[in-house]
Amino acid sequence: MNVKNICCLGAGYVGGPTMAVIAQQCPHINVTVVDVNATRIAAWNDADLDKLPVFEPGLDNVVGEARGRNLFFSTDVDQAIDEADMIFISVNTPTKTYGKGKGMAADLKYIELCARQIASVSKTNKIVVEKSTLPVRTASAIKNILDHTGNGVEFQILSNPEFLAEGTAVDDLLAPDRVLIGGDTSDKGQEAIQALVDVYAHWVPKERILTTNVWSSELSKLTANAFLAQRVSSINSMSALCEKTGADVNEVAKAIGLDSRIGSKFLKSSVGFGGSCFQKDILNLVYIAKTYGLNEVADYWEQVIIMNDYQKNRFSNNIVSTLYNTVSGKKITFLGWAFKKDTNDTRESAAIQVADNLLNEQAHIAVYDPKVTEERIYADLDYLNTRAEEENRSLLNVKNDPYEACKDSHAIAVLTEWDEFKTYDWQAIYDNMLKPAFVFDGRGILDIKSLENIGFVCYSIGKGFNK
């Protein structure tokens, strides 16, 4: 089967870039990305490519090339479903904040709504592709809804998990390590798999396109993220030990990373991992394991999250104890709010927890992030519900200029590894700070020696203070 019309429900960090790349690589396929959020769609259609709702290096070029040719962004969900022969579901699946599985299970209400809408609108056979990260066996739930509420049309459900990392989404999509497609083992299931293989085969080498059954594909996504997050938590656990013993976490990471069985990636110690996937997917895994009575399996993976929370709290505790056990009324400047560099996404960013802890200690915080908006920062804090919204606005200020943000502060904390932080005029920053001027580098990116030469007192994650 030759796919001619693709639609994607959800124009977010995954759906937007993924569809843009498919459209760019397959000019003969019409790709329509729809979203219930009209503001988001308007931003995707903005003539000014700097205003796209998702910031990703290179995405403006891809969208600029394909948009209006065979890539469309729209709020007309029904029409897009009706016209498509393949429908991607890429809506959000946040962790449940209520009821059974609260704080752990994925909330599938948006997925279910999509399935019901697809069922009620479809007049022709469709291939439905789950792109959102979902707990194992969601495909069967989607199939159930489609088969029982549809108008007699046939649906094939595929699982095609997205492995792109934000900040490198375009490169990851153009040259993926692998594309995974899970489907039914029946003949029709295999035909559907082949249709999606053919789409990717336009730019991905065949040997990198893996096909499996649906459950393996769904579980592989959770497993990959759990393994990656575990590496970060493992090295972060060592960062605490390094600071106590005088070892340097970067040296340890380099030494173990050269072991080809271990490998060098995902060993960068940090103030804690964030992002939309790691925590959510591990919690999901923990919840699934518990559901099956596999308590030891659940505990094993939960420890990755516990270590991550510890790392964030350790960082803020260290700031408080270093500043003579009180930060009350002191100005602390955050460089970075995003969960990693080169993205404007802040979901689960370590900065949020660190800020919340310091605000509990009555610190005044100034934040500078090159891509995150003031609105987003306040929304992240308000979401925690720790204090009144007015209080968040009076205690935390967002600045558009890093030098302004650092002026008159007692300490600077680096929360995101943005490259530009390395190139600042640190002497000028030092001159305008209160003394002693502290820097807490939660990402290990700054040249500590030259900062110390200027006069800063520096802490770097996994190295501690230079004694």
- E strands of 200-309, at which residues? 209-213
Amino acid residing at 222: L
36 binds ligand ADP (CB under 6 A): yes
440 binds ligand UDX (CB under 6 A): no
Report the alpha-carbon distance of residue 368 to residue 139 in Å, rounded: 42
Name which of ligand ADP, ligand UDX, none residue 195 binds, using a CB cut-off of 5 to 8 Å depending on partner kind. Answer: none
Amino acid residing at 183: G
Report the alpha-carbon distance of residue 209 to residue 178 in Å, rounded: 6
Task: Please pick, from the candidates 80, 108, 195, 228, the single residue that binds ligand UDX as defined by CB under 6 A.
Answer: 228
- Going by the DSSP 8-state scheme, the letter that residue 50 receives in this structure is G
Cβ 283 to ligand UDX shortest distance, Å: 14
Paired sense of beta strands 86-89 and 5-9, if any: parallel
Q: What is residue 55's three-state secondary structure?
A: coil
146: nearest Cα among 163, 168, 121: 121
221 binds ligand ADP (CB under 6 A): no
> Which strand ranges, in their side-by-side order, compose the sheet holding 209-213?
71-74, 30-34, 5-9, 86-89, 126-130, 155-159, 179-183, 209-213
Q: Is 93 annotated as a binding residue?
A: yes
165 binds ligand ADP (CB under 6 A): no
153 binds ligand UDX (CB under 6 A): no
Catalytic residue among 26, 114, 242, 277: 277
> Annotated catalytic, 277?
yes
Q: Is 221 annotated as a binding residue?
A: yes
Name which of ligand UDX, ligand ADP, none residue 277 binds, using a CB cut-off of 5 to 8 Å depending on partner kind. Answer: ligand UDX
Q: Is 268 annotated as a binding residue?
A: yes
Is 17 or 189 the residue whose CB approaches ligand ADP more closely?
17
Query: Which tokens sit at 83?
Result: 């016209």
40 binds ligand ADP (CB under 6 A): yes
Site string for ligand ADP, 268-307 (x = CB under 6 A): --------x-------------------------------
What are φ and ψ of residue 289, in 5° steps?
-60, -45
Residue 33 pairs with which residues in a beta bridge?
A: 8, 73
Q: Is 11 annotated as a binding residue?
A: yes
131 binds ligand UDX (CB under 6 A): no
Report the alpha-carbon distance of residue 56 to residue 16 in Å, rounded: 10
Q: Is 133 annotated as a binding residue?
A: yes
364: nearest Cα among 397, 387, 338: 397
Site string for ligand ADP, 104-133 (x = CB under 6 A): ------x--xx-----------------x-
Name which of ligand ADP, ligand UDX, none residue 150 binds, using a CB cut-off of 5 to 8 Å depending on partner kind. Answer: none
Q: Which residues bind ligand ADP (CB under 6 A)?
A: 9-15, 34-37, 40, 77, 90-92, 110, 113-114, 132, 276
Catalytic residue ranges: 277
